[in-house]
Chain A
């Protein structure tokens, strides 16, 4: 059927089944991939467009209903001369786009609002944007942008040579994000590609036999099973390749891949799961830590007795003996659940065979690890594999593991045709990794003066069916679990057990957020027992430069927790006065203030994690950052450009960017562990310095010479003298920098130098609890972070604000239950109405090892948030949450129980 309508002001027509979703028609047939699909179910709003001037989810609009109407998409926002609209410009200037996957939806929802109400207030903005989820920004800068859109345009920051570090320049990759031109995993799939649909296990633990697949072969190009995979095991650690690409007769979690159907898109979608013959022998699954550690527990993996993946810890002093002398002791057990990354872009990508090589275009956090893993799975050389990262619509650790990569690679290799795979939202949620559920038992003791004396912590993790990043979590947590405090006697143990849950992997913080809930509850408990203010108690015990950590590491520099607490103190005192005044009014609402502190080791734990960055100057005068560090929205493309620019001595605005492609860049490691600013940034600094040295040598100029690049001529001003380098003759010039943070292995007692530097932070939350309903509204967060040096304060704030939103979700609403919350309406992440106004305070206690003194901030934003919120709930109600998320019914139950005790 043919539909005629108006598309971005122009006459348009489209032919096809009228029940086709508008989102699909826009993307697949009309070439407008600026409209993103995050869920296909109206839950995320990424596909928001205007239909007759009203915002709608284009995934819910039938093409038959578009006839005669007006459709407007992000592609229609630009001004007639191709410039950014005021709104787009404000999004770019305010840093409202991070990964950019929700940006088109946010823009269209904002556009809808601004047409109705040209000068909206915050409440109107929340109402209008309430239907679009963002997982990166914490919404703060989006609200700022919509407010700014009705004001005069903000002047663009364009620092001169040498002034980039510390400047709020706009994202170097931001223009594509606010125009919808950025290409994510599902945006560049060739029209002639075949598609894969994966058939997954509905059972958490079962044996199975596939029946006769021959009838399917007639409808499809290929049906791939375990026997088609050359090396059917992958995993993060070189010695633990325990997860099959396609299950071989045994499934160990619900959602595990079994069969890959390959064919044209309509054909693979039309095959129902029950048309794939499977004979099941269902077994009782091992669910949860208690089941995994029971004496008679069945083994999840052969060769893993007691279902133990790994254990180990940190010991110093004699904790058991030291407790006897403590003036106060606090104890508690805290539990967390599986948490889903819920990036708005589901896993997506495509592969094609180019001669004897395989090229994979995919949304990923780790192109080099992907390359090596695909080489292993396909039994090819590393040189035979090229990973071309697309824009990444959010990662948070979830795109560090393989998803579509091996499937599209295998099929494309075998069929010699491009092959694509895009996960559905339920598939993304069921099949990919989660945050580790944890049970953290903690006991802390201090002396009468309020100085910490001893702690004993046992952190037990459910690592799910496969190892993934489980060892990383189990190793990192014991180092951090005592919190950012000087503690002479420590016993800190971490252990991870296999279960038939989804594989628990990397998720912003690698287990530290779970542990922080425990150590901060202990700190509150001890402070309360001694009658010391909770902030002052932390200040008294804060790790400072010169202190020795529990692993025996002396913190020589950059330990700014006390400064963070100093910065919070006036807010803290004011909030206490305000809360007391509010609560004096009685009623069924109570307010409270809470505080959370954290420290976070930047980079891998006691393992080499080098980055190599290059800066090139071509004969034509093109200055390029060759950046293997993938920007997943956090801003490393921009940060590394700023660092390299100042190291070289040319303006950041002159840089072009080549990002991530394993053929064109050097290995800058994975985007995880908050390492890109510190590690790759240091390498970028080295690359800029290296290129500068080469230029100065060519010009025979001194170290203070001033460079300027004018086309293919490079001018070098050294005092009064100006020398010109003709790049057409002298080029290309390549500068290279490499950095591997210095660490040492941990011994049997966990003694050593696990990280070269640590980030520190303190956050405070003000909450309002509805005592009768058990609901919690977070009213305000103030976050003070020691980041060493803020290379770009806007991007740093964006990381903190986004981390806070995820920490709020962890504390109050997020709970992944296999088979039950596999969509974005049963699995709740914070909306724009749930994240309060956030005030960021940046403390810059320079780290001499880092570029311009910078450390990392990616994960630290999240870690202290849940502890601060839970502390505030305790302050308001007297209830100490021991299980998160603190859903309304759980808090209500606890409030009722506490009342019962009082009566």
Chain B
């Protein structure tokens, strides 16, 4: 399967491509962002640049921030949302944001389509639940019930073209100056990006003020299982995730 090519070609350096390839890059209906009755539809082959350029509500601020952190501009112009998801890298920059947007994945096969929550789609490192003959065609992001904003932070060892050491995303819905719903996710700190339900629960009802970051407790990071690799140690990742989360939440109050 080929769309933006940003994962397809790098895994085939210095060898001939002999396998059958389905290029979905030219299918117009798979591309673009549109409002639906109950939310937003993001076509599978929508590029990061298109996300950045799209006129979207503050709900998508985090996704736009993530889009700007994907590779360099060339990659943003080619790489697609669904490619990022289906490649299923633990460090996929788009996944934490889409998790906090409560996105659903729409999957089509010849006979039928089905939808599932994004959190169930990636089953492990470089693994998804996609069955043979199936294709991700879109993401669906529901309208929030309240006024909503999202944000994203990424940590890497250099400025551009960098694989995340850790990244965090949050979407907060605010009603009557208090947090009505919080969705928070961390990437590159476990095989699959993880939501942090305990932290989300701890934030409910809190005012969005300068003390928001103080509500985070190290225990909230329990779902994370970071590893040691060339980019950082497991302990560092855990500490960094905590720091990034505090800054992310402080940013909402700023």
Contact = CB atoms under 8 A, between A and B. Distances in A.
For the complex, would chain B's binding face be called helix, strand, loop or mixed by DSSP majority? loop
Contact of A43 (B10, B23, B159, B165): B10
Given A60-B9, A424-B13, A825 B74 contact: no
Interface in B223-254: 230-233, 235-237, 239-240, 243-244
A65 B26 CA distance: 7
Contacts of A56: 74, 77-78
Contact of B232 (A126, A817, A888): A888
Contacts of A828: 157-158, 162
A45 interface: yes
- Most B CB atoms within 10 A — which of A64, A131, A197, A425? A131
Contact of A269 (B6, B16, B21, B232): B16
B158 A831 contact: yes
Interface string A37-50: 00111110100100
A270 interface: yes
A578 B190 CA distance: 41
Contacts, number: 163
Interface string A815-844: 101001101011010111110000000000
Contacts of A833: 158-160
Interface residues of A, number: 66
Given A60-B5, A65-B23, A54 B14 contact: no
Nearest to A23: B9
Contact of A41 (B9, B155, B160): B9
A128 interface: yes
A887 interface: yes
A815 B230 contact: yes
A832 B6 CA distance: 21
A676 B159 CA distance: 34
Contacts of A65: 5, 23, 25-26
B28 interface: no
A67 B25 CA distance: 11
Contacts of B162: 825, 828
Contacts of A57: 6, 74-75, 78
Given A830-B158, A831-B161, A426 B75 contact: no
Contacts of A59: 9
Contact of A60 (B4, B159, B243): B4
B9 A888 contact: no
A109 B14 contact: no
B18 A45 contact: no
A284 interface: no
A197 B26 CA distance: 34
Interface string A412-437: 00000000000011110000000000
Contact of B9 (A40, A132, A133, A812): A40
B215 to A, nearest CB: 17
Contact of A62 (B13, B23, B75): B23
Interface stretch (A498-506, A649-657, A767-775): A767-775
B159 A130 contact: yes
A883 interface: no
A826 B160 contact: no
Contacts of A887: 157, 231-232
Contact of A130 (B5, B26, B73, B155): B73
A622 B225 CA distance: 70
A663 interface: no
B110 interface: no
Contacts of B75: 42, 57, 60, 131
A12 interface: no
A55 B233 CA distance: 35
B15 interface: yes
Contact of B163 (A51, A826, A893): A826
A130 B232 contact: no
Chain B: interface size category = 35 or more
A266 B14 CA distance: 11
A667 B71 CA distance: 44
B169 to A, nearest CB: 17
B225 to A, nearest CB: 17
B222 interface: no
A112 interface: yes
Contacts of B125: none
Nearest to B72: A131
Nearest to A832: B160
Contacts of A128: 73
Contacts of B230: 815, 817, 820-821, 826
Nearest to B242: A772
A130 B9 contact: no
Contacts of A823: 10, 13
Contacts of A832: 159-160
B175 interface: no
Contact of A42 (B6, B25, B233): B6
A834 B73 contact: no
Contact of B13 (A17, A40, A197): A40
- Most B CB atoms within 10 A — which of A272, A425, A831, A896? A831
B73 A892 contact: no
A310 to B, nearest CB: 31
B13 A831 contact: no
Nearest to A820: B230
B37 interface: no
A62 B2 contact: yes
Contacts of B13: 39-41, 424-426, 823
A826 B9 CA distance: 16
14 contacts: A40-B10, A55-B73, A57-B6, A59-B9, A60-B9, A65-B23, A131-B71, A131-B73, A131-B74, A132-B72, A269-B14, A832-B160, A834-B159, A889-B236
Interface of A: 17-19, 21, 39-43, 45, 48, 51, 54-57, 59-62, 64-65, 67, 109, 112, 126-128, 130-133, 197, 266, 269-270, 272, 424-427, 772-775, 812-813, 815, 817, 820-821, 823, 825-826, 828, 830-834, 887-889, 892-893, 896
Interface of B: 2, 4-6, 8-10, 13-18, 21, 23, 25-26, 49, 71-75, 77-78, 155, 157-163, 165, 230-233, 235-237, 239-240, 243-244
Given A131-B160, A270-B18, A889-B233, 6 more contacts: A55-B77, A61-B5, A65-B5, A130-B73, A825-B163, A893-B236
